[in-house]
Structure 1
């Protein structure tokens, strides 16, 4: 009996050792491989995103300024009028009611023989050729939005179309909801085309831009106390050595950060990312909290046309996209 027990134990040890050997051989430890990128030069742009809907820039009620009897209504609903066209005349010879601006008569609320009082609404005129959109901007970003800034627009109804506009007004008072304050920003649309009142829009307000700027991915810049630095690589190979290079930075969006001192175009920097032997990727501290405020989403692509996503462009002329970063 004792002999069989000993043989069983030996068999268990043999099976367990073989299993450990094969599993251990196939599960090699993760090996860190350096990820590098080059310092690029191009147009860096920062923008603020917002959603809204199309509305008419001019749309208002037509108000009677006298109390009198209507003699004649000279227009019909849906009729197009020019500014100053007569709409309604009165039997007592009072000054006729005229169109306040060019547009379409959307409603007529009186007819011949009706008596109106001063301040009564007698009609409504809307200009469908002059359109705008109103977006909501977070309180952290509204200080960067100014009248006259360029805007890129898209509409859900026309996904392949691009529209442009300019900031027309920025609200002086915000609205508070769910613990967040936001402000309305009105944007005039340059060429509305087939856009219609009520259609949804997405806007990118260009708040900052720099031509021929040096930039790197935002995760390349790290913080050591108050000092910002990058790991400057000797080459783009996986086993390249690196040195700590102190840099000065300018503006940034959600993907890239401007380098104003410490690097030159073409320099190779190492990113704080490791890749294991099974190609899984894990990020490290990255920016480690570069100070400077909130990071809204979205971004304004530059004329060079940066690809979407987080990858660095191969050329140096394109400008990156992204949202407004901490540098203001």
Structure 2
């Protein structure tokens, strides 16, 4: 009887030991494979590089025109009003004719007197000649006649000028089309020749003035193409060309920027003062060999790339070949691509930023194996005066296991191990002195027989 009991206990012990060994093998952390550095090879390809310079600013009217008075006189009508849209050639102002009636009467009376005086002098001259008067008296009479004629001519000229003054000056017309933003005259007022009387702004002819960093200014020239987008009209893109570059920059927070003006070709719906984002197209090359900018290193004014070297037969297994440096000639570049002018050709490969990998597992160095991603979140231990101890442990991914075992060595021990997906762990164990049990049970799935 005792022999059968010993055999039974031995069998149970073997089963428990095997289960424990299997659990340890499954849950014991696997050793990480040695990292293998796989070169990131990048191929020289043909592409297009567009060099662009961007800046922000606001739109404004390209030009404002000041209209000057062409004649001196009095204003009759002011036809151009503030904020009024006018066309080129449209009448803005008319002059009054000068009131010369008083002067005209005076000059007319004077002329009549001068003409009568001339007639008398001529008659006197004839009489002196007929009377055989001395030559001196005759010459003096002749001079009197000439002076009378001169006075008459002067008076006639003054009368002619007065007649002209009665006619109003030609009306003042708009030299350009646009909107009147300033009016400096009033009806009935006097205006002098060359005085500023109107200001006209063409709000349909707009430009965008943006601020550009000083490092980019040497790359920009007038006539370069540009595109402009307005914050208020995000669905429209306007085209234009660089029309002006400021000769003096402004410094803010230690950074110097220069104003660059872009004249818009057409600006429907746009208004002066709108916030603008502009892109200036400095240079573009198509179908040229290029590499990502980060694959080319600069040193001492020269440019280099890294090529994959030949494997070293004496190096340990998994060791990457030592890279080989090669000098190249470069051309234009933007924020992502750089032109390769010589040293490499299309299809050649260079080493880019390295990627550390786990052999052929496809996991990066900082990734973790799912089988090793376990944690013990909670542990509870209870003891009482009857020497009863309870421990409940749980660790698994999608399975549950329960094992009850009882061994008799003048003690009773019960172990309950449960595994669930909530990553919680507890262990219950109870030991009672001087109790013996002949039954042992092992079950899977949380059931006990």
Given the two structures, how large is their TM-score scaled by the length of structure 1? 0.68
Residue deviations 1:106-145, cap 9 Å, x none?
A: 4444332233455654333121221111112222221211
Is the 1:34–1:239 Cα contact (8 Å) retained in structure 2? Answer: no
From 80, 85, 100, the equivalent of 2:175 is 100
Match of 1:271 in 2: 352
Deviations 1:34-72 (A, max 9, x none): 333221212212121111111111223434455532101
More strand by percentage: 1
> How far apart, in 2, do the equivalents of 1:223 and 1:97 lie?
66
Instruction: Give 1:260 shift.
Output: 0.2
The 1:104–1:280 alpha-carbon spacing in structure 2 relative to 1, beyond 3 Å, is farther
User: Does the Cα contact within 8 Å between 2:37 and 2:320 map onto a contact in 1?
Assistant: no
Within 5 Å, which residues of 2 pair with 1:1-328? 25=30, 31-92=36-97, 93-117=168-192, 120-223=195-298, 227-233=302-308, 243-275=324-356, 279=364
Note if contact 1:233-1:240 (Cα within 8 Å) is conserved in structure 2: no
Displacement after TM superposition at 1:243 (Å): 4.0
Higher RCO, Cα 8 Å, sep 6+: 1
Deviation at residue 30 of structure 1 after TM alignment:
5.8
Q: Name the SS for the 1:219 alignment partner.
A: helix
Matches of 2:298 and 2:28, distance apart in 1: 43
Q: Identify if the C-alpha distance between structure 1 residues 151 and 226 changes in structure 2 by more than 3 Å, giving closer, same or farther.
A: closer
CA distance in 2, matches of 1:195, 1:109: 28
The structure that is helix-richer by fraction is 2
TM-score by length of 2: 0.51
Q: Secondary structure at the match of 2:294?
A: helix
Q: In the alignment, is the contact (CA less than 8 A) between 1:132 and 1:188 conserved in 2?
A: yes
- Unmatched tracts of structure 2, length 5 or more: 1-23, 98-167, 310-317, 367-449
Deviations 1:163-201 (A, max 9, x none): 211011112222333333322211111121221111111
CA root-mean-square deviation: 3.1
1:200-244 Cα distance to aligned partner (Å, 9 max, x none): 11111122222222111111012455542222359xxx9985543
